[in-house]
Amino acid sequence: MSDPLNAVVLGATGYVGGELLRLIAGHPGLALAAAVSESRAGDPIGDVFPHLRSARGGQSFSAHADWAEQIDRGARVALFSAAPHGASAAIVQAALDKAAARDFDIHVVDASADFRYSNGDDYAAVYGAAHGAPELLEQFASGVPEHVEGAPAPHVGHPGCFATAVLLAAVPLLKSGLSEPELFVTGITGSTGSGRSPQPGTHHPERHSNLYAYKPLGHRHTPEIVRFSAAASGVEPVLNFIPHSGPFARGIYATVQAKAKDGATADALKQALAEYYADAPFVEVVDGTPRLKDVVASNRCQLGCAASEDALVVMSAIDNLVKGAAGGAVQWMNRLWGLPETEGLESPAPAWT
Ligand SMILES: NC(=O)c1ccc[n+]([C@@H]2O[C@H](COP(=O)([O-])OP(=O)(O)OC[C@H]3O[C@@H](n4cnc5c(N)ncnc54)[C@H](OP(=O)(O)O)[C@@H]3O)[C@@H](O)[C@H]2O)c1
């Protein structure tokens, strides 16, 4: 058995960064070489994440300037970025430059939106700013691991949490041919989806015991979901997407509705979902409706479906921080390095969160 890979996490003090540190602690193929932070460099990891104190011992955060020298020249490096979009591309570029200077064998998985588009113009049109490293885009593939064969590029941009929840439901629905290609989608996310810095609209008093839609029919992840749906299913949907803020910390619950084609039935839809995900270890097609608590804090997705004469619906529940970010990123990293796809990700949901 070979030595574990050197895992490096950029943006390590954020919510996704913290989940990466937690998952790496339980992954036999990854050893944390550096948790990289600009704001907390030198501080013990346990000061920012007390729940990780026992797992991370006396390890401290490293500065961007220092992490590469902590790792042996020529080492195998699994580098994750959990920095915000707009900042991630430039720090990934700087990290790859350091890696080249130290002859690292490296794969990168980025949790931000910076590597979800194949060209800088499409990115700039959605995010309103020039891409931070457009020359790197051709080295990145993107998509939900269940919808992409193999590892088509050395590095991967994770598709994001709303996109993962919606795509896991929408792609087999579109591919089945049972529905029209116009989708009506509601997605409800927990508050960790907004990161650790409170904003007026995402602060606890606003979200607790509350539920509201935001950016209806205008959310910036819509074009990404359309693009990934088309690539995976061969059908480009019209997507009517309404995100909601839910009164819970973790999880995403998405319902994807479409007009049924003549003769479509609930049984046919369920069979299409089950066949599509027959070899997908993290996706379970359930009887009835999925429930958040059955997936939260795990890398699992539950799908359920229903049909009337006119309409079809597929419901999808995931954890935004695990399957929708850190766990999906580890799943991709496993694949990029040829490790078993489930390694370090098999813990079931605790349910009583
Ligand atoms: N939260 C989710 O559910 C979720 C799901 C899917 C994808 N994502 C994506 O994952 C990334 C991280 O999300 P998050 O929720 O963990 O965010 P977060 O809690 O705000 O953490 C982001 C971290 O990035 C670092 N950072 C902030 N500004 C930076 C800059 N200008 N340059 C470099 N580093 C910077 C900070 O760490 P230091 O100052 O310590 O370096 C910060 O703790 C984002 O791109 C987000 O869109 C999040």
Complete DSSP assignment for 25-68 = HT-TTEEEEEEE-SSSTTSBHHHH-GGGHHHHTT-B-B-TTTGG
Which residues pair with residue 105 across a beta bridge? 76
> Which protein residue has the closest C-alpha to ligand 1 atom 43?
14
Ligand 1 atom at minimal distance to the Cα of residue 320? 3
5-142 domain in CATH 3.40.50.2020?
no
Ligand 1 pocket mutation, candidates 8, 13, 16, criterion most atoms within 8 A of CB: 16
Ligand 1 atom at minimal distance to the Cα of residue 61? 40
Q: Which one-letter DSSP state was computed for residue 113?
A: G
Decide if 80 contacts 27 (C-beta within 8 A).
no
- The stretches of 102-221 forming alpha helices (DSSP H) are 120-127, 161-176, 204-207
pTM: 0.98
Ligand 1 pocket by Cβ (under 6 Å): 11, 13-17, 37-40, 82-85, 87, 91, 111-112, 160-161, 192-193, 195-197, 320-321, 324-325
CA pair distance 233, 225, nearest whole angstrom: 12
Looking at residue 1, its pLDDT comes to: 64
The structure tokens listed for 33 are 């070489």
Which residues pair with residue 155 across a beta bridge? 140
Ligand 1 atom at minimal distance to the Cα of residue 17? 16
Residues with a known catalytic role: 161
Closest CA to 122 of 165, 166, 83, 157: 157
pLDDT by 10s per residue, the chain, length 353: 689 999 999 999 999 999 999 999 999 999 999 999 999 999 999 999 999 999 988 899 999 999 999 999 999 999 999 999 999 999 999 999 999 999 999 999 999 999 999 999 999 999 999 999 999 999 999 999 999 999 999 999 999 999 999 999 999 999 999 999 999 999 999 999 999 998 887 888 889 999 999 999 999 999 999 999 999 999 999 999 999 999 999 999 999 999 999 999 999 999 999 999 999 999 999 999 999 999 999 999 999 999 999 999 999 999 999 999 999 999 999 999 999 999 999 999 999 98
Domain ranges of the chain: 5-142, 162-320
CA pair distance 88, 84, nearest whole angstrom: 6
Cα of 37 vs centre of ligand 1, distance in Å, is 11
CA pair distance 273, 265, nearest whole angstrom: 13
Report, at the CATH architecture level, how domain 162-320 is classified: 2-Layer Sandwich (3.30)
Decide if 247 contacts 276 (C-beta within 8 A).
no
Cα of 195 vs centre of ligand 1, distance in Å, is 6
